[in-house]
Amino acid sequence: MPQKTDYDAVVVGSGPNGLSAAVRLAQHGLKVLVLEAKSTIGGGTRTQELTEPGFLHDICAAVIPTTAGSPYLSSLNLEDYGLEFIHPEIPYAHPLDNGEAAVAWRSLNKTAENLGVDGNAYRKLYHHFSDNWDALSEDLFGTLRIPKHPLLMARFGWYGALSAKFLGNALFEHPHSKALLAGCAAHSIMPLTIAFSASFGLVLASSAHAVGWPIAKGGTHSVTNALASLLKELGGEIETEHPVSSLKDIPTAKTILFDLTPRQITEIIENKAPDSYLEKLKDFKYGPGVFKVDWALSEPVPWTNEHCRKAGTLHLGGTFDEISRAEQDVWDGNHSRSPYVLVSQPSLFDESRAPKGKHTLWAYCHVPNGSSLDMTDVIEDQIERFAPGFKDTIISKNTMNAPQFQSYNANYIGGDINGGAQFFKQLFGRPVLKWDPYHIPGTSMYICSSSTPPGGGVHGMCGYHSAESVLKNEFRISSDKN
Protein backbone atom coordinates (compact mmCIF):
# COMPACT_ATOMS: atom_id res chain seq x y z
CA MET A 1 0.00 0.00 0.00
CA PRO A 2 1.50 3.41 -0.94
CA GLN A 3 2.01 5.59 2.13
CA LYS A 4 0.01 8.80 2.52
CA THR A 5 2.25 11.84 2.05
CA ASP A 6 1.84 15.53 2.87
CA TYR A 7 2.56 16.57 -0.72
CA ASP A 8 2.79 15.03 -4.17
CA ALA A 9 5.99 16.99 -4.78
CA VAL A 10 8.35 19.18 -2.79
CA VAL A 11 10.72 21.47 -4.69
CA VAL A 12 13.82 22.64 -2.79
CA GLY A 13 14.85 26.11 -4.02
CA SER A 14 12.77 28.87 -5.57
CA GLY A 15 14.94 30.00 -8.48
CA PRO A 16 13.36 30.28 -11.94
CA ASN A 17 13.91 26.56 -12.49
CA GLY A 18 12.46 25.48 -9.15
CA LEU A 19 9.37 27.62 -9.69
CA SER A 20 8.96 26.49 -13.31
CA ALA A 21 9.09 22.86 -12.17
CA ALA A 22 6.54 23.59 -9.45
CA VAL A 23 4.19 25.36 -11.87
CA ARG A 24 4.44 22.51 -14.39
CA LEU A 25 3.51 19.93 -11.73
CA ALA A 26 0.69 22.10 -10.35
CA GLN A 27 -0.68 22.48 -13.89
CA HIS A 28 -1.33 18.73 -13.70
CA GLY A 29 -3.23 19.05 -10.43
CA LEU A 30 -0.40 17.87 -8.16
CA LYS A 31 -0.10 19.21 -4.62
CA VAL A 32 3.22 21.07 -4.61
CA LEU A 33 5.32 22.81 -1.95
CA VAL A 34 8.40 24.96 -2.66
CA LEU A 35 10.97 25.36 0.15
CA GLU A 36 13.34 28.34 -0.03
CA ALA A 37 16.30 28.90 2.31
CA LYS A 38 16.24 32.69 2.12
CA SER A 39 13.57 35.16 3.25
CA THR A 40 12.55 35.97 -0.33
CA ILE A 41 11.99 33.81 -3.39
CA GLY A 42 13.75 34.10 -6.74
CA GLY A 43 17.33 32.77 -6.51
CA GLY A 44 19.24 34.49 -9.30
CA THR A 45 16.41 36.85 -10.18
CA ARG A 46 16.01 39.07 -7.12
CA THR A 47 15.95 42.89 -7.35
CA GLN A 48 16.84 45.09 -4.35
CA GLU A 49 17.90 48.55 -3.19
CA LEU A 50 21.60 47.67 -2.89
CA THR A 51 23.05 51.20 -2.87
CA GLU A 52 20.68 54.07 -2.02
CA PRO A 53 16.94 54.34 -1.31
CA GLY A 54 14.98 54.39 -4.58
CA PHE A 55 17.76 52.71 -6.63
CA LEU A 56 16.63 49.21 -7.63
CA HIS A 57 19.41 46.82 -8.63
CA ASP A 58 19.22 43.33 -10.12
CA ILE A 59 21.47 41.33 -7.80
CA CYS A 60 22.08 38.61 -10.39
CA ALA A 61 20.34 38.27 -13.77
CA ALA A 62 19.53 41.56 -15.48
CA VAL A 63 19.13 40.89 -19.21
CA ILE A 64 16.76 38.11 -20.11
CA PRO A 65 16.69 37.03 -23.76
CA THR A 66 16.35 33.44 -22.58
CA THR A 67 13.15 34.34 -20.71
CA ALA A 68 11.68 35.94 -23.82
CA GLY A 69 12.89 33.00 -25.93
CA SER A 70 11.95 30.19 -23.54
CA PRO A 71 9.43 27.75 -25.01
CA TYR A 72 7.95 27.03 -21.56
CA LEU A 73 7.93 30.49 -19.98
CA SER A 74 6.49 31.96 -23.20
CA SER A 75 3.57 29.53 -22.94
CA LEU A 76 2.57 30.77 -19.45
CA ASN A 77 1.29 34.29 -20.28
CA LEU A 78 3.38 35.68 -17.42
CA GLU A 79 2.38 39.20 -18.51
CA ASP A 80 -1.01 38.43 -16.87
CA TYR A 81 0.93 38.07 -13.60
CA GLY A 82 2.89 41.31 -13.84
CA LEU A 83 5.88 40.51 -16.10
CA GLU A 84 6.51 43.25 -18.66
CA PHE A 85 9.46 43.14 -21.05
CA ILE A 86 11.20 46.38 -21.99
CA HIS A 87 13.28 46.31 -25.19
CA PRO A 88 16.16 48.81 -25.38
CA GLU A 89 16.52 50.34 -28.85
CA ILE A 90 19.85 48.52 -29.24
CA PRO A 91 20.09 45.02 -27.66
CA TYR A 92 23.86 45.15 -27.17
CA ALA A 93 26.87 47.21 -28.19
CA HIS A 94 30.60 46.66 -28.00
CA PRO A 95 32.73 49.83 -27.69
CA LEU A 96 36.27 49.89 -29.06
CA ASP A 97 39.22 52.17 -28.28
CA ASN A 98 38.97 54.50 -31.26
CA GLY A 99 35.53 55.78 -30.22
CA GLU A 100 33.83 53.29 -32.55
CA ALA A 101 31.41 50.62 -31.40
CA ALA A 102 30.18 47.40 -32.93
CA VAL A 103 26.40 47.43 -32.68
CA ALA A 104 23.85 44.61 -32.70
CA TRP A 105 20.51 46.10 -33.68
CA ARG A 106 17.29 44.21 -33.32
CA SER A 107 17.21 44.09 -37.12
CA LEU A 108 19.61 41.54 -38.59
CA ASN A 109 19.85 43.49 -41.85
CA LYS A 110 20.62 46.80 -40.16
CA THR A 111 23.33 45.08 -38.13
CA ALA A 112 24.82 43.42 -41.21
CA GLU A 113 24.73 46.68 -43.22
CA ASN A 114 27.06 48.28 -40.67
CA LEU A 115 29.63 45.49 -40.76
CA GLY A 116 31.27 46.47 -44.06
CA VAL A 117 32.95 43.52 -45.84
CA ASP A 118 31.42 41.10 -43.35
CA GLY A 119 27.79 42.12 -43.95
CA ASN A 120 26.95 39.13 -46.12
CA ALA A 121 28.80 36.64 -43.94
CA TYR A 122 27.01 37.95 -40.83
CA ARG A 123 23.60 37.77 -42.54
CA LYS A 124 24.31 34.28 -43.90
CA LEU A 125 25.48 32.97 -40.52
CA TYR A 126 22.60 34.23 -38.42
CA HIS A 127 19.50 34.49 -40.60
CA HIS A 128 18.67 30.75 -40.51
CA PHE A 129 18.84 30.77 -36.73
CA SER A 130 17.02 34.04 -36.05
CA ASP A 131 14.34 33.48 -38.74
CA ASN A 132 13.64 30.00 -37.32
CA TRP A 133 14.10 30.83 -33.64
CA ASP A 134 10.99 28.93 -32.47
CA ALA A 135 12.20 25.73 -34.11
CA LEU A 136 15.80 26.25 -33.01
CA SER A 137 14.89 26.99 -29.39
CA GLU A 138 12.67 23.91 -29.29
CA ASP A 139 15.75 21.77 -29.94
CA LEU A 140 18.35 23.86 -28.10
CA PHE A 141 16.22 24.08 -24.98
CA GLY A 142 15.11 20.46 -25.39
CA THR A 143 16.48 17.28 -23.86
CA LEU A 144 19.05 14.87 -25.29
CA ARG A 145 17.14 13.23 -28.16
CA ILE A 146 16.90 13.13 -31.94
CA PRO A 147 16.33 16.78 -32.95
CA LYS A 148 12.84 17.77 -34.08
CA HIS A 149 14.43 20.02 -36.72
CA PRO A 150 17.42 17.96 -37.91
CA LEU A 151 18.53 20.19 -40.81
CA LEU A 152 18.49 23.36 -38.74
CA MET A 153 20.27 21.62 -35.87
CA ALA A 154 22.85 20.14 -38.27
CA ARG A 155 23.59 23.68 -39.48
CA PHE A 156 23.76 24.92 -35.90
CA GLY A 157 26.03 22.05 -34.86
CA TRP A 158 28.33 22.64 -37.87
CA TYR A 159 29.15 26.16 -36.64
CA GLY A 160 28.41 25.77 -32.93
CA ALA A 161 30.82 22.88 -32.38
CA LEU A 162 33.72 25.16 -33.33
CA SER A 163 35.64 27.42 -31.03
CA ALA A 164 34.51 31.04 -31.23
CA LYS A 165 38.03 31.97 -32.29
CA PHE A 166 38.05 29.57 -35.22
CA LEU A 167 34.58 30.63 -36.34
CA GLY A 168 35.39 34.35 -36.05
CA ASN A 169 38.61 34.01 -38.03
CA ALA A 170 37.03 31.76 -40.67
CA LEU A 171 34.04 34.01 -41.39
CA PHE A 172 34.92 37.58 -40.48
CA GLU A 173 37.54 40.18 -41.33
CA HIS A 174 36.05 43.30 -39.76
CA PRO A 175 37.04 43.92 -36.10
CA HIS A 176 33.42 44.85 -35.33
CA SER A 177 31.97 41.47 -36.41
CA LYS A 178 34.68 39.65 -34.49
CA ALA A 179 34.06 41.79 -31.40
CA LEU A 180 30.31 41.10 -31.51
CA LEU A 181 31.00 37.37 -31.63
CA ALA A 182 33.55 37.53 -28.79
CA GLY A 183 31.16 39.51 -26.57
CA CYS A 184 28.39 36.91 -26.97
CA ALA A 185 30.63 33.83 -26.83
CA ALA A 186 32.32 35.01 -23.62
CA HIS A 187 28.99 34.65 -21.77
CA SER A 188 29.98 30.96 -21.73
CA ILE A 189 32.68 31.76 -19.12
CA MET A 190 35.11 29.58 -21.10
CA PRO A 191 38.15 30.35 -23.25
CA LEU A 192 37.07 31.33 -26.75
CA THR A 193 39.52 28.75 -28.10
CA ILE A 194 37.56 25.78 -26.69
CA ALA A 195 35.29 23.64 -28.89
CA PHE A 196 31.60 24.61 -28.64
CA SER A 197 32.37 28.11 -27.32
CA ALA A 198 30.95 29.37 -30.65
CA SER A 199 27.57 27.84 -29.77
CA PHE A 200 27.01 30.40 -26.96
CA GLY A 201 27.83 33.23 -29.36
CA LEU A 202 25.44 31.87 -31.98
CA VAL A 203 22.53 31.43 -29.57
CA LEU A 204 22.87 34.84 -27.95
CA ALA A 205 23.51 36.76 -31.17
CA SER A 206 20.58 35.03 -32.91
CA SER A 207 18.28 35.70 -29.97
CA ALA A 208 19.05 39.44 -30.20
CA HIS A 209 17.55 39.49 -33.70
CA ALA A 210 14.78 36.98 -32.99
CA VAL A 211 13.37 37.91 -29.58
CA GLY A 212 15.56 40.83 -28.46
CA TRP A 213 17.54 41.25 -25.24
CA PRO A 214 14.87 42.65 -22.95
CA ILE A 215 14.96 43.65 -19.31
CA ALA A 216 11.96 43.22 -17.01
CA LYS A 217 10.08 46.34 -15.95
CA GLY A 218 10.78 46.91 -12.25
CA GLY A 219 13.60 44.35 -12.23
CA THR A 220 14.20 40.68 -12.99
CA HIS A 221 12.36 39.62 -9.81
CA SER A 222 9.19 40.26 -11.86
CA VAL A 223 9.86 36.94 -13.63
CA THR A 224 9.82 34.80 -10.47
CA ASN A 225 7.14 36.94 -8.78
CA ALA A 226 4.94 36.18 -11.80
CA LEU A 227 5.76 32.45 -11.59
CA ALA A 228 5.00 32.46 -7.85
CA SER A 229 1.61 34.17 -8.42
CA LEU A 230 0.72 31.59 -11.05
CA LEU A 231 1.84 28.76 -8.77
CA LYS A 232 -0.34 30.02 -5.92
CA GLU A 233 -3.31 30.37 -8.28
CA LEU A 234 -2.80 26.70 -9.20
CA GLY A 235 -2.89 25.75 -5.50
CA GLY A 236 0.87 25.51 -4.92
CA GLU A 237 2.51 26.63 -1.67
CA ILE A 238 5.82 28.39 -0.98
CA GLU A 239 7.65 28.46 2.32
CA THR A 240 10.61 30.84 2.73
CA GLU A 241 13.32 30.74 5.43
CA HIS A 242 13.27 26.95 5.19
CA PRO A 243 16.85 25.82 4.41
CA VAL A 244 17.17 22.12 3.64
CA SER A 245 20.35 20.46 4.83
CA SER A 246 19.07 16.88 5.10
CA LEU A 247 16.11 14.85 3.88
CA LYS A 248 14.67 15.18 7.40
CA ASP A 249 14.02 18.89 6.69
CA ILE A 250 11.51 17.99 3.95
CA PRO A 251 7.85 17.10 4.64
CA THR A 252 6.75 13.73 3.29
CA ALA A 253 6.19 13.74 -0.46
CA LYS A 254 5.91 11.24 -3.32
CA THR A 255 8.78 13.00 -5.06
CA ILE A 256 11.42 15.65 -4.34
CA LEU A 257 12.97 18.02 -6.86
CA PHE A 258 16.21 19.86 -6.08
CA ASP A 259 16.77 23.30 -7.61
CA LEU A 260 20.31 22.87 -6.30
CA THR A 261 23.71 21.89 -7.67
CA PRO A 262 25.41 18.48 -7.30
CA ARG A 263 27.58 19.45 -4.31
CA GLN A 264 24.59 20.37 -2.13
CA ILE A 265 22.55 17.42 -3.38
CA THR A 266 25.19 14.84 -2.44
CA GLU A 267 25.26 16.28 1.09
CA ILE A 268 21.47 16.26 1.45
CA ILE A 269 20.72 12.80 0.02
CA GLU A 270 23.81 11.15 1.60
CA ASN A 271 23.89 7.50 0.49
CA LYS A 272 20.37 7.22 -0.98
CA ALA A 273 21.59 6.90 -4.61
CA PRO A 274 23.99 4.28 -6.04
CA ASP A 275 27.67 4.94 -5.19
CA SER A 276 28.64 5.05 -8.87
CA TYR A 277 26.16 7.90 -9.46
CA LEU A 278 27.18 9.79 -6.32
CA GLU A 279 30.83 9.56 -7.43
CA LYS A 280 29.91 11.19 -10.73
CA LEU A 281 28.04 13.98 -8.94
CA LYS A 282 31.09 14.56 -6.76
CA ASP A 283 33.22 14.74 -9.91
CA PHE A 284 31.05 17.51 -11.39
CA LYS A 285 33.20 20.56 -12.23
CA TYR A 286 32.38 24.13 -11.25
CA GLY A 287 33.52 27.01 -13.45
CA PRO A 288 35.06 30.40 -12.73
CA GLY A 289 33.31 32.84 -10.39
CA VAL A 290 32.24 36.45 -10.80
CA PHE A 291 32.94 39.81 -9.17
CA LYS A 292 30.08 42.28 -9.46
CA VAL A 293 29.60 46.01 -8.89
CA ASP A 294 26.29 47.92 -8.77
CA TRP A 295 26.37 51.69 -8.87
CA ALA A 296 23.97 54.52 -8.14
CA LEU A 297 24.86 57.27 -10.65
CA SER A 298 24.07 60.97 -10.82
CA GLU A 299 23.64 60.77 -14.61
CA PRO A 300 23.84 58.27 -17.48
CA VAL A 301 27.26 56.78 -18.29
CA PRO A 302 29.04 59.20 -20.67
CA TRP A 303 29.95 56.60 -23.31
CA THR A 304 32.12 58.11 -26.04
CA ASN A 305 30.16 56.31 -28.72
CA GLU A 306 26.59 57.53 -28.92
CA HIS A 307 25.17 54.10 -29.83
CA CYS A 308 26.39 52.80 -26.46
CA ARG A 309 24.02 55.29 -24.82
CA LYS A 310 21.05 53.51 -26.42
CA ALA A 311 22.15 49.93 -25.72
CA GLY A 312 20.67 47.82 -22.93
CA THR A 313 23.81 45.68 -22.61
CA LEU A 314 27.47 46.43 -23.30
CA HIS A 315 30.37 44.06 -23.72
CA LEU A 316 33.64 45.71 -22.66
CA GLY A 317 37.16 44.47 -23.10
CA GLY A 318 38.16 45.62 -26.57
CA THR A 319 38.98 43.43 -29.55
CA PHE A 320 38.28 39.71 -30.01
CA ASP A 321 41.89 38.88 -29.11
CA GLU A 322 41.85 40.96 -25.92
CA ILE A 323 38.66 39.31 -24.72
CA SER A 324 39.97 35.89 -25.66
CA ARG A 325 43.12 36.54 -23.61
CA ALA A 326 41.12 37.80 -20.63
CA GLU A 327 38.88 34.70 -20.58
CA GLN A 328 41.87 32.38 -20.97
CA ASP A 329 43.55 34.10 -17.98
CA VAL A 330 40.51 33.43 -15.78
CA TRP A 331 40.20 29.81 -16.95
CA ASP A 332 43.89 29.33 -16.07
CA GLY A 333 43.22 30.57 -12.52
CA ASN A 334 44.52 34.15 -12.93
CA HIS A 335 42.91 37.58 -12.62
CA SER A 336 42.82 39.56 -15.85
CA ARG A 337 44.01 43.17 -15.49
CA SER A 338 41.90 44.02 -18.54
CA PRO A 339 38.87 41.78 -18.08
CA TYR A 340 35.81 41.17 -20.19
CA VAL A 341 33.11 43.17 -18.40
CA LEU A 342 29.37 42.73 -18.90
CA VAL A 343 27.37 45.90 -18.33
CA SER A 344 23.63 46.55 -18.13
CA GLN A 345 22.14 50.05 -17.88
CA PRO A 346 18.45 49.37 -17.13
CA SER A 347 17.43 52.77 -15.75
CA LEU A 348 17.88 54.33 -19.22
CA PHE A 349 14.86 52.31 -20.34
CA ASP A 350 12.91 51.75 -17.12
CA GLU A 351 12.32 54.84 -15.01
CA SER A 352 11.11 52.74 -12.06
CA ARG A 353 14.74 51.70 -11.37
CA ALA A 354 16.07 55.04 -10.01
CA PRO A 355 14.90 58.45 -8.74
CA LYS A 356 14.15 60.93 -11.54
CA GLY A 357 17.30 61.96 -13.43
CA LYS A 358 19.46 59.41 -11.58
CA HIS A 359 20.63 56.01 -12.81
CA THR A 360 21.69 52.51 -11.86
CA LEU A 361 24.47 50.51 -13.49
CA TRP A 362 25.19 46.75 -13.21
CA ALA A 363 28.48 45.11 -14.20
CA TYR A 364 30.52 42.02 -13.50
CA CYS A 365 33.67 40.29 -14.66
CA HIS A 366 34.83 36.69 -14.42
CA VAL A 367 37.39 35.68 -11.78
CA PRO A 368 38.92 32.35 -10.72
CA ASN A 369 36.52 30.17 -8.72
CA GLY A 370 36.45 31.22 -5.05
CA SER A 371 38.48 34.41 -5.59
CA SER A 372 37.92 37.17 -3.06
CA LEU A 373 40.10 39.73 -4.86
CA ASP A 374 38.43 43.15 -5.12
CA MET A 375 38.05 43.90 -8.85
CA THR A 376 36.21 47.24 -8.42
CA ASP A 377 39.08 49.42 -9.69
CA VAL A 378 39.76 47.15 -12.65
CA ILE A 379 36.09 47.15 -13.67
CA GLU A 380 35.76 50.91 -13.23
CA ASP A 381 38.94 51.47 -15.29
CA GLN A 382 37.49 49.31 -18.05
CA ILE A 383 34.29 51.43 -18.10
CA GLU A 384 36.27 54.70 -17.91
CA ARG A 385 38.29 53.51 -20.94
CA PHE A 386 35.17 53.74 -23.11
CA ALA A 387 33.35 56.43 -21.09
CA PRO A 388 35.79 59.05 -19.78
CA GLY A 389 34.22 60.91 -16.85
CA PHE A 390 32.27 57.83 -15.66
CA LYS A 391 33.91 57.83 -12.23
CA ASP A 392 32.65 61.41 -11.61
CA THR A 393 29.03 60.21 -11.95
CA ILE A 394 29.26 57.68 -9.08
CA ILE A 395 27.07 58.44 -6.05
CA SER A 396 27.66 55.10 -4.33
CA LYS A 397 28.31 51.43 -5.07
CA ASN A 398 27.85 47.90 -3.77
CA THR A 399 30.26 45.08 -4.55
CA MET A 400 30.01 41.28 -4.30
CA ASN A 401 32.95 38.91 -4.69
CA ALA A 402 32.72 35.19 -5.44
CA PRO A 403 32.47 33.91 -1.81
CA GLN A 404 29.86 36.60 -1.07
CA PHE A 405 27.82 35.30 -4.02
CA GLN A 406 27.96 31.80 -2.55
CA SER A 407 26.76 33.10 0.86
CA TYR A 408 23.97 34.95 -0.92
CA ASN A 409 22.87 31.84 -2.86
CA ALA A 410 24.29 28.43 -1.95
CA ASN A 411 23.99 27.39 -5.63
CA TYR A 412 26.82 29.73 -6.60
CA ILE A 413 29.65 27.40 -5.61
CA GLY A 414 32.83 29.52 -5.54
CA GLY A 415 30.90 32.24 -7.39
CA ASP A 416 29.99 30.00 -10.37
CA ILE A 417 26.72 31.53 -11.60
CA ASN A 418 25.78 28.75 -14.03
CA GLY A 419 25.46 25.78 -11.67
CA GLY A 420 28.63 24.21 -13.10
CA ALA A 421 31.13 24.77 -15.92
CA GLN A 422 29.63 24.48 -19.41
CA PHE A 423 32.46 22.86 -21.37
CA PHE A 424 31.71 20.10 -23.88
CA LYS A 425 31.27 17.19 -21.45
CA GLN A 426 29.07 19.13 -19.05
CA LEU A 427 27.10 20.84 -21.81
CA PHE A 428 25.48 17.56 -22.86
CA GLY A 429 26.12 15.36 -19.80
CA ARG A 430 24.82 17.71 -17.14
CA PRO A 431 25.34 16.75 -14.30
CA VAL A 432 25.81 13.15 -15.54
CA LEU A 433 25.59 11.83 -19.11
CA LYS A 434 22.29 9.89 -19.32
CA TRP A 435 19.08 10.00 -21.35
CA ASP A 436 17.20 11.40 -18.36
CA PRO A 437 19.75 13.60 -16.55
CA TYR A 438 17.04 14.92 -14.20
CA HIS A 439 16.31 11.65 -12.39
CA ILE A 440 18.49 10.56 -9.46
CA PRO A 441 18.71 6.79 -10.09
CA GLY A 442 17.22 4.39 -7.55
CA THR A 443 15.15 7.15 -5.92
CA SER A 444 12.02 9.28 -6.45
CA MET A 445 14.23 12.37 -6.41
CA TYR A 446 15.11 14.74 -9.26
CA ILE A 447 17.44 17.64 -10.12
CA CYS A 448 15.79 20.67 -11.71
CA SER A 449 18.45 23.42 -11.47
CA SER A 450 20.77 24.93 -14.07
CA SER A 451 23.12 22.03 -13.31
CA THR A 452 20.92 20.09 -15.78
CA PRO A 453 20.33 20.76 -19.52
CA PRO A 454 20.02 23.32 -20.98
CA GLY A 455 22.15 25.01 -18.27
CA GLY A 456 22.38 28.59 -16.98
CA GLY A 457 19.98 31.45 -17.68
CA VAL A 458 16.50 32.55 -16.68
CA HIS A 459 14.54 30.24 -18.99
CA GLY A 460 12.98 27.75 -16.57
CA MET A 461 13.59 24.93 -19.06
CA CYS A 462 15.64 22.79 -16.63
CA GLY A 463 12.65 22.96 -14.27
CA TYR A 464 10.22 22.19 -17.04
CA HIS A 465 12.08 19.09 -18.27
CA SER A 466 12.63 17.84 -14.75
CA ALA A 467 8.91 18.17 -14.03
CA GLU A 468 8.14 16.29 -17.24
CA SER A 469 10.41 13.48 -16.09
CA VAL A 470 8.62 13.42 -12.70
CA LEU A 471 5.20 13.34 -14.38
CA LYS A 472 6.23 10.44 -16.62
CA ASN A 473 8.16 8.34 -14.07
CA GLU A 474 6.24 8.95 -10.86
CA PHE A 475 2.70 9.76 -12.05
CA ARG A 476 2.53 8.03 -15.47
CA ILE A 477 1.54 11.30 -17.16
CA SER A 478 3.18 12.03 -20.51
CA SER A 479 2.60 15.53 -21.76
CA ASP A 480 5.84 16.98 -23.18
CA LYS A 481 5.07 19.33 -26.04
CA ASN A 482 8.36 21.26 -25.87
Ligand X SMILES: Cc1cc2nc3c(=O)[nH]c(=O)nc-3n(C[C@H](O)[C@H](O)[C@H](O)COP(=O)(O)OP(=O)(O)OC[C@H]3O[C@@H](n4cnc5c(N)ncnc54)[C@H](O)[C@@H]3O)c2cc1C
Residue 37 is a binding residue for ligand X (CB under 6 A): yes
Single out the residue of 16, 95, 201, 339 in contact with ligand X (rule: CB under 6 A).
Answer: 16
Cβ neighbours of residue 159 closer than 8 Å, sequence gap 6 or more: 125, 167, 198, 199, 202
Q: How far is the CB of 291 from ligand X (least distance, A)?
A: 9
Q: How far is the CB of 62 from ligand X (least distance, A)?
A: 5
The kind and range of the H/E element at 134 are helix 133-140
Single out the residue of 47, 66, 199, 393 in contact with ligand X (rule: CB under 6 A).
Answer: 66
Which residue from 276, 243, 283, 288 is spatially nearest to 262, judged by alpha carbons?
283
Single out the residue of 457, 466, 467, 470 in contact with ligand X (rule: CB under 6 A).
Answer: 457
From 100-108, 120-128, 370-378, 455-463, span contacting ligand X (CB under 6 A): 455-463
In terms of CB distance, is 60 or 185 closer to ligand X? 60
Residue 354 is a binding residue for ligand X (CB under 6 A): no
In terms of CB distance, is 115 or 413 closer to ligand X? 413
Single out the residue of 32, 43, 353, 427 in contact with ligand X (rule: CB under 6 A).
Answer: 43
Across the beta sheet with 289-297, the strand order is: 101-104, 90-95, 311-316, 341-344, 359-367, 289-297, 394-400
Which residue from 156, 145, 170, 135 is spatially nearest to 201, judged by alpha carbons?
156
How buried is 356 (Cβ within 10 angstroms: 0-12 exposed, 13-18 middle, 19+ buried)?
A: exposed
Q: How far is the CB of 101 from ligand X (least distance, A)?
A: 20
In terms of CB distance, is 165 or 459 closer to ligand X? 459
Residue 35 is a binding residue for ligand X (CB under 6 A): yes
- The answer to whether 361 touches 345, Cβ cutoff 8 Å, is yes
Size of residue set near ligand X by CB under 6 A: 42
Single out the residue of 8, 9, 11, 18 in contact with ligand X (rule: CB under 6 A).
Answer: 18
Distance of alpha carbon 28 from alpha carbon 234, whole angstroms = 9
In terms of CB distance, is 90 or 115 closer to ligand X? 90
Distance of alpha carbon 269 from alpha carbon 29, whole angstroms = 27
Question: Which x/- pattern over 258-297 shows residues binding ligand X (rule: CB under 6 A)?
Answer: -xx---x-------------------------x-x-----
- The answer to whether 178 touches 317, Cβ cutoff 8 Å, is no
Q: How far is the CB of 116 from ligand X (least distance, A)?
A: 30
Single out the residue of 11, 23, 32, 62 in contact with ligand X (rule: CB under 6 A).
Answer: 62
- The answer to whether 18 touches 29, Cβ cutoff 8 Å, is no
In terms of CB distance, is 103 or 268 closer to ligand X? 268
Cis peptide before 302 (omega within 30 of 0): no
In terms of CB distance, is 12 or 230 closer to ligand X? 12
Which residue from 139, 99, 135, 104 is spatially nearest to 122, judged by alpha carbons?
104
Distance of alpha carbon 300 from alpha carbon 117, whole angstroms = 33
In terms of CB distance, is 224 or 393 closer to ligand X? 224
Which residue from 323, 304, 28 is spatially nearest to 184, judged by alpha carbons?
323
- The answer to whether 227 touches 24, Cβ cutoff 8 Å, is no
Residue 422 is a binding residue for ligand X (CB under 6 A): no
From 36-44, 94-102, 105-113, 200-208, span contacting ligand X (CB under 6 A): 36-44
Q: Where along the sequence are the contacts to ligand X (CB under 6 A)?
A: 12-18, 35-38, 43-45, 60-64, 66, 243-244, 259-260, 264, 290, 292, 364, 405, 409-412, 417-419, 449-450, 456-458, 462
